[in-house]
Amino acid sequence: MKNLITLSLLSLSINAMAQGNITPDMLRKYEKQTQLTAAERAISNALAAGPVSGLALNQANQVEQDTYFSNSVPSKGITDQKSSGRCWLFTGLNVLRAEMMNKHSLREMEFSQNYLFFYDQLEKANLFLQAIIDTRDKSMDDQTVIWLFQNPLSDGGTFTGVADLVNKYGLVPVGVMPDNYTAKNTAQFTTFLKRKLREDAIRLREGKPSDKQLQQMKEEQLGEIYKMLVVGLGKPVEKFKWAPKDSNGRYVYEPEEFTPQEFYKKYFTANLQTDFIMLMNDPTRPYWKTYEIQYDRHTYDGHNWLYLNLPMKEIKECAIASIKDSTMMYFSCDVSKFLDRTKGIADLRNFNYDDIFGVKFGMNKKQRIMSYDSGSTHAMTLKAVDLDEKGRPLKWEVENSWGQSSGHKGHIIMTDEWFDEYMFRLVVNKKYLSEAILKAAQQKPTLLPCWDPMFSSEE
């Protein structure tokens, strides 16, 4: 009897598994119902020789783009992050650059991304190693530990990192510590940093060292990371001389000597850590609530990424108020979706993907986030909006960091419909926010895990 029961259960299990298989009958059915038309065969032939985006390009939308904007902050020159994931750093520093140039009537200005990137990588290494120490009692298959080993360090980031790094290490002009090849091409160098950090993390989890011994081990490991950074990026400057120049390249006054912290404090009065709020449009969670992401910070003694989730209407109102006051903003989005890179236009009508494959792509923004199909991937500087006669936005413009030859003279123009679907984060000075938003931002935030679907460094 026992054997009969066992055989019966085995049979049920096999039948259940069979129900999930692709069977010969299913294949015959699919083959029969997939009889390509002449047009579909032509598309198939074209896809064999070229990319989907080229074939799906909507020629009816290739008319000359309207580049007029009713409200725009003057661009201060296009920067280029090259083959690196430092868009968050370029964007944050471009926002500061615009403020400094306007306030002090400077002809040109750019800050050193390499200087802050050096400390960003060192601080992230410390954050990772200390997190390994803090979680060393957890097993290797704990989800947080798994995430830490998968993400020991990256060249991506968010505005929170810009704020913490600038507040701690100050700023230097680009000429004081310019980008070198490694800074412009970070992928391979970052791979070696991550490999070394993972090796160090394994050592920190071995044996039963005391807390004091663990900190000594970590400091020695960070010393090696520091050396790697000096070899790859150069040694950060401690003091330098600087003064603005006129249109003929002559110094306006005798150069002064600064430390990076002194330079920042002389030319900036705003506190990046307290005067700005990150707004998010995440329809997977309740609006008018604050959230922060565990371990999503650049420095161990810094701040987790904190944001207020708002409907798009309120975010747009804040953005418009800032642009009208000639103030650029840190902005991030899912830049690759429906972007015509040649023209620099982000428009939902740019590509007819449904027509190419003969299927319907119908997920909304909430569903795309939940399924990991969409998220914030790139930071740029929001600088312009075109409003109709009733004050409603028609299109937006951002200053990008992909070089002058990219897109529309280094910029990307976004339709308002595209903005609704693929914009995610905006950092706004508090003075442009309503009382209701300021009040909502004071809530105790909900702590989200580091592997949350909306956690993604801008690159």
Active site residues: 87, 378, 400
Query: How far is residue 426's CA from residue 236's CA, in Å, rounded to a whole number?
Result: 30
Query: For residues 282 and 454, is the Cβ–Cβ distance under 8 A?
Result: yes
3-state helix, strand, coil in the chain (%, to 5): 45, 15, 40
- Single out the residue of 175, 98, 39, 147 nearest to residue 329, CA to CA: 98
Residue 178 has phi, psi (to 5 degrees) of -70, 165
Instruction: Tell me how far apart the alpha carbons of residues 223 and 183 are, in angstroms, rounded to a whole number.
Output: 20
Residues 323 and 30 sit within 8 Å (Cβ to Cβ)? no
For residues 205 and 208, give the distance between their C-alpha atoms in angstroms, rounded to a whole number. 8
Q: How large is the C-alpha radius of gyration of the chain?
A: 26
What is the rounded distance in angstroms from the CA atom of residue 245 to the CA atom of residue 364?
Answer: 51
Which residues partner with 290 through β-bridges? 308
Q: Are 311 and 437 in contact (CB under 8 A)?
A: no
- With both helix axes pointing from N to C terminus, report the angle between 113-134 and 211-233 in degrees, rounded to the nearest 10: 160
Inter-residue contact 454 to 377 (CB < 8 Å): no
Pairing of strands 276-280, 256-258: unpaired
Contacts of 72 (CB under 8 A, 6+ apart): 323, 383, 384, 385, 397
CB 300 within 8 A of CB 453: no
241 contacts: CB under 8 Å, gap ≥ 6: 255, 256, 257, 258
CA distances (Å), origin 288, targets 274, 280, 283, 294, 438: 19, 10, 11, 20, 10
**CA nearest 425: which of 297, 291, 294?**
291
Q: What is the dihedral of CA 416, 421, 427, 432, to 10 degrees?
A: 40
